[in-house]
Amino acid sequence: MDIELYLMPVHGMGKRLFFMLMLLASQPSWSQQDPQFTQYMFNNFYFNPAFAGTEGVMKITAIHRAQWMGYSPTYGDGGAPTTELISMNMPMPMLKGGVGGYFVYDNLGAITNMELQASYAYYVPVRNGRLSLGIRAGMISQEVDFSKFRAIDPNDPLLGRKGSESQFRPDLAFGALYRKEKFYLGAGINHLTQPSFDFGLSQQNKLKPHLYVTGSYFYDMNFDLRFQFVGFVKSDLVKTSFDLGVLAYLRNTMWGGLSFRQSDAISLLLGYSFLEDKSLSLGYSLDYVVNDQEAKEATSHEFMLSYTIPVSTSRKKVIRTPRFRY
């Protein structure tokens, strides 16, 4: 997540809104307020609840992202942003769809955002593909550690708070996905309840709805080599940004590719699948910042670990006979 600091003159109400300015500092230049992931093509479920269970397996994913490695603040003990995600989703034939959930811990120095969300997707057969409609509901919280702020006016009572304070708000998202054997296109929109956090101030830090559009196309070069072309569009309905990338898979065991994030970074992606059934996968991405390097460190790192478990989507019919009992 790219961080941009918003400043205003400190006089009158200005000094009392200093904390709100720091809250707003968690927003990057195009106003994104959600965590950013380079390996989004392996984490579509986070951006769109309609992806729940669509891979036909139970999938457990863990991601750790370390932004701007080596960054040191000019004041205090804050550091570069870090994000952790744990998610699980699986098909649920008895519900004619899929279910899942995730937990996110997003640390931005003095501010920590956490999410605990659950999703359900309903599948509708459409010609040679399938339409999935998803809904997600849960809680999102924001915690502020006031001890990490620099007080411009040390006598301001609002700036004299000690320790940490947290606020919890409900959150809601919807999504849709059309999927075929070698192609998918989906769109999800979150923060429909527009959760807001004020911490006793007259101004509020409100989370805007964000629209995410993901698409992918697979091309089989031969039996051993497969290419995946991916695209990702992010918008807060005011400004829009996009990612584009291509990955090559060798024998469904290892992969590598390149991705470009508009006005931000070029990324290298690598991965390998372990075990005989390729159920355990390890992914890594390296971002090299190409924009505003003077305000950031040049590289960001992301690690992904996923494990898949086959899920039966059909029931076997049991036939009982007088001779054998089951």
Q: Residues with Cβ < 8 Å from 33, sequence gap 6 or more?
A: 26, 27, 191, 207, 208, 210, 236
Q: Which residues of the chain have pLDDT under 70?
A: 1-32, 69-79, 151, 154, 156-161, 201-204, 292-296, 312-326
- pLDDT tens digit sequence for 35-69: 989 999 999 999 999 999 999 999 999 999 998 76
Q: Is 8 contained in some domain?
A: no
Q: Is residue 280 part of a domain?
A: yes
Mean pLDDT of the residues in the chain: 83
Indicate which CATH number applies to the domain containing 120.
2.40.160.40
3, part of any domain: no
Predicted local distance difference test score (pLDDT) of residue 67: 85
pLDDT tens digits for range 137-180: 999 999 888 777 776 776 766 666 677 788 899 999 999 999 99
Nearest 10 degrees: CA dihedral of 319, 322, 323, 326?
50
Residue 91 lies in a domain: yes
Residue 65 has phi, psi (to 5 degrees) of -120, 130
Residue 244 forms part of a structural domain: yes
> Do residues 225 and 248 make contact, with C-beta atoms less than 8 angstroms apart?
yes
Residue 320 belongs to a domain? no
Domain that holds residue 105: 13-310
For residue 325, being part of any structural domain is answered with no
| Domain count of the fold of the chain | 1
CA 137 centroid distance within chain: 15
Per-residue confidence (pLDDT) for residue 318, from 0 to 100: 45
What pLDDT is stored for residue 151 in this prediction? Answer: 67
pLDDT at residue 90 in the model: 97
Confirm whether 323 is domain-assigned. Answer: no
